Chain A
Amino acid sequence: MSTTASSAVSVTDLSKRFERGDVLALDRIDLEVQPGEFVSLIGPSGCGKSTLLRIIGDLIRPSEGDVLVNGKSAHQARLDRDYGIVFQDAVLYDWRTVVKNIALPLEMAGWDKQRREARVREMLELVELSGFEKHHPWQLSGGMQQRVSIARALSFSPALLLMDEPFGALDEMTRERMNNELLRIWQETRSTVVFVTHSIAESVFLSTRVVVMSARPGRIAGIVEIDLPQPRSPETREHPRFAEHITQVRRLLRKGHALDAPEEDETPLYVAEEGL
């Protein structure tokens, strides 16, 4: 795919070498994300998926290669507040109430009080936290904290949402509910999402495309187009193609792993599966 100005994210020939330990974290990555897509990055720990996300957000600088966000440099996109980011930890500021946490990016963008309040109210409804305005972060459960974090990332309507294993610390049931909520929000806001996860099922359930990465050095092992009907619902998990896609992603993960360490016992299994 060629780099176009219309891409939400365009990564070209990107490498990242960490000076400390001389680790090649990312090796010649090319990736295009179109507006409105939901793209997951999945891979073993150490494959550089979080690093890639942070480079897209201009929180880390790449060693080589180019990153364009909404057609401009990642740096300019950050200065223009073009994206919202959600981390694994909710990263709420303890001294701010729920309302003030959500209003933080709006304050920094210079919105007046009245406009902020109206927007925060909308966001609280979106993440179903009305009634918790005056609570402090420590008074909320982990799932609720993460919903505040998502509301905050969406509050200024960024076209791009970067998410770094946002539900990784939640229990399975909360995670599935959060997945459904995220998809509902994605549909409502029509934003683009780049989502880092280490859960195969989560990546297939949420995404329009899954980018599978291999570790050391971090490379793209393959990309799986997820051909499941929209909007997704809990029944999606029982769709016959859901299981197929999970198998596809798993194979790519294993292939990446096998390429990485060909001497391991897993190689015969991979060869056998390749014949299927």
Chain B
Amino acid sequence: MSVVAPLPRGTLGARVGRGAVDWIPAAAVLVLGILAWEGIVRGLDIQRFLLPAPSAIIDTLWEQRELLQAAGIYTFSEALGGFAIGCTLAVLAAIVLARFRSFGRALMPFAIAANAVPIIAFAPITNQWFGPLEKTSKMAIAAILVFFPVMVNTLRGLTSVRPPQIELMRSYAAGEVEIFRRVRIPNSLPYVFSALKVATVLAMIGAVVGEYFLSSQEALGFQIRNSAALFQFELAWAAITVASVLGILFYLAVVLVERLTMSWHPSTRAD
């Protein structure tokens, strides 16, 4: 019998410790980058409308924390709503197209073409359709943005099953529904999650850019556009920082769910 390495184990502490060591270079780059930014702005006496110093942005983040928090929650709820609607519809559409392949083959070229269209250009239209002051108009643009990549990837995951995996199921007298449930859906998960990660970013872009055109004053996008127009650059940058942090947290939340649901997958094992 061949010798196989035991399952990767280790105490949580050891894992976190190792993780922390891995993060040191990245953390160092971040700190050095911010320090360099601060140094350049001060040393070269750069105008604040070109680039405010990080310290000024941090001050503003603190001073305007209530405004920014409310705006962040407002915009994030739009992104999250659009993400949920768009991804749900995309997965359902992929399942239908995978089940009825000729239907799928007829629609696929359009889905791929739609994927290449700058969908964000439709934002003024969805604003009009769903009301510029309504959250639903931003959810709509976010949902449309995430729909195509999630649909195309999910469809690929559902259909890229190796033929013997299907033959084996048929040898167990499995029908199409059972093959779907036991093989196609689990097989699609890695594809779905890589699409969902992209979708978090797209949903935030959809919400914020949608708000640039017209929106409630509570929104992050409105704050960014408005404060830039009013020469309140520190506030614009602070709002951009909030949007970025929310986007990163959103992404990491999906990564966490991915790791929990796909612990079987080699890619989710750091060791």
Contact = CB atoms under 8 A, between A and B. Distances in A.
Interface of A: 54, 57, 59, 78-81, 83-85, 87, 89, 91, 93-97, 104-105, 108-109, 128, 132, 134-136, 138-141, 143-144
Given A78-B171, A83-B171, A104-B172, A95 B4 contact: no
A266 to B, nearest CB: 34
15 contacts: A59-B167, A80-B173, A81-B172, A83-B171, A87-B168, A89-B162, A91-B168, A93-B165, A95-B186, A95-B262, A95-B264, A95-B265, A108-B182, A141-B2, A141-B4
Contacts of A83: 171
A59 B171 contact: yes
B7 A135 contact: yes
Given A54-B167, A141-B2, A144-B4, A95 B189 contact: yes
Contact of B164 (A91, A109, A128): A91
Interface residues of B, number: 25
B65 interface: no
Contacts of B1: 128
B8 to A, nearest CB: 9
B168 to A, nearest CB: 5
B164 A89 contact: yes
Interface centre among B5, B172, B183 (most CB of A within 10 A): B172
Given A59-B170, A78-B171, A93-B165, A136 B4 contact: no
Contacts of B174: 108
Contacts of A80: 173
B201 to A, nearest CB: 26
A104 B172 CA distance: 9
A96 B189 CA distance: 13
B67 to A, nearest CB: 46
Contacts of B264: 94-97, 136
Nearest to A83: B171
A108 B2 contact: no
A109 B167 CA distance: 17
B173 A79 contact: yes
A93 B183 contact: yes
Nearest to A107: B182
Interface string B232-271: 0000000000000000000000000000001011100000
Contacts of B170: 59, 78
A151 B106 CA distance: 42
B2 A143 contact: yes
Nearest to A177: B1
Contacts of B59: none
A85 B168 contact: yes
A108 B178 contact: yes
A139 B165 CA distance: 19
Given A84-B171, A89-B164, A108-B173, 5 more contacts: A54-B167, A81-B171, A89-B162, A135-B7, A136-B264
Contact of B7 (A94, A128, A134): A134
Contacts of A94: 264-265
A144 B2 contact: yes
Contact of B162 (A59, A78, A91, A109): A91
A136 B7 CA distance: 9
A81 to B, nearest CB: 6
Contacts of A78: 170-171, 173
A93 B264 CA distance: 10
Contacts of B178: 108
A21 to B, nearest CB: 18
Interface centre among A54, A57, A95, A140 (most CB of B within 10 A): A95
A25 B187 CA distance: 32
Nearest to B1: A128
Interface string B75-96: 0000000000000000000000
B63 to A, nearest CB: 50
A108 B169 CA distance: 9
Contacts of A104: 172, 182
A172 to B, nearest CB: 15
A87 B171 CA distance: 12
Interface in B164-215: 164-165, 167-168, 170-174, 178, 182-183, 186-187, 189
Nearest to B178: A108
A134 B171 CA distance: 25
Contact of A108 (B4, B172, B187): B172
Contacts of A128: 1
B173 A87 contact: no
Contacts of B266: 138
Nearest to B171: A85
Contacts of B186: 93, 95
Nearest to B166: A59
A252 B133 CA distance: 83
A97 B186 CA distance: 13
